């Protein structure tokens, strides 16, 4: 199972100002890239804080949402999951999925990186500075990492936005 982390950051490495900040500040080209790659994989994994910033579940993909909340209402296209991400990935693999997209946020990114489950990172740097906010990896899980990356390619998405493709070498 290949896990691709796809995120957009500001120049100062922030993915949002707060946990409730809807990522509407990213470029249309980055949104298209996310849509294309995640639809091809068929699955987006995310934390519930990220999911609750969306107006609706992401279309034409399974939204696998990590949450500790119980009794959340069932919704078309949404799977509420909890616990070990390795087990969630193993179940998706049994269903025939080969690649999944991890779509944030910072908490879930850290959990997956800590468990060495992220194989590739596609990071778009948008031409913005927030100063304060949430970093790519942070939160309740241990975030003292030293992970080596290999740059695979850089893609210019528009005049101002660059997508960086990295392989993760644990």
Binding mask 85-104 for ligand NAP (x = CB under 6 A): ------------------xx
- Token output for 76: 């078309």
- Name every residue whose Cβ is closer than 8 Å to that of residue 126 and which is 6 or more positions away in sequence: 8, 9, 10, 11, 25, 26, 27, 30, 160, 161
* Complex with ligand NAP: residue 34 or 96, whichever CB lies closer: 34
Chain mean position to CA 154: 19
d(CA 127, CA 159): 10
Q: Using an 8 Å Cβ cutoff, are 12 and 136 in contact?
A: no
CB of 159 to ligand NAP, least distance (A): 20
CB of 19 to ligand NAP, least distance (A): 4
Residues of this chain, 15-44, that bind ligand NAP according to CB under 6 A: 15-16, 19, 21-23
By CB under 6 A, name the binding residues for ligand NAP. Answer: 7-8, 15-16, 19, 21-23, 46-50, 53, 66-69, 82-83, 103-108, 111, 134, 139
């Amino acid at each position: 199972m290949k896990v691709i982390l796809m995120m957009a950051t500001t120049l100062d490495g922030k993915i949002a100002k707060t946990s409730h900040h809807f990522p509407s500040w990213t470029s249309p080209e980055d949104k298209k890239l996310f849509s294309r790659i995640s639809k091809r994989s068929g699955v987006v994994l995310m934390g519930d804080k990220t999911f609750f910033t969306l107006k609706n579940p992401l279309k034409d993909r399974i939204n696998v949402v990590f949450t500790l909340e119980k009794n959340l209402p069932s919704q078309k296209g949404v799977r509420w999951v909890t616990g070990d991400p390795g087990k969630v990935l193993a179940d998706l693999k049994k269903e025939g999925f080969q690649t999944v997209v991890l779509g944030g946020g910072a908490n879930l990114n850290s959990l997956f990186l800590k468990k060495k489950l992220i194989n590739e990172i596609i990071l778009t740097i948008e031409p913005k500075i927030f100063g304060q906010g949430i970093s790519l990896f942070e939160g309740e899980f241990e975030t003292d990492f030293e992970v080596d990356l290999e740059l695979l390619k850089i893609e210019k998405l528009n005049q101002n936005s660059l997508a960086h493709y990295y392989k993760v070498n644990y």
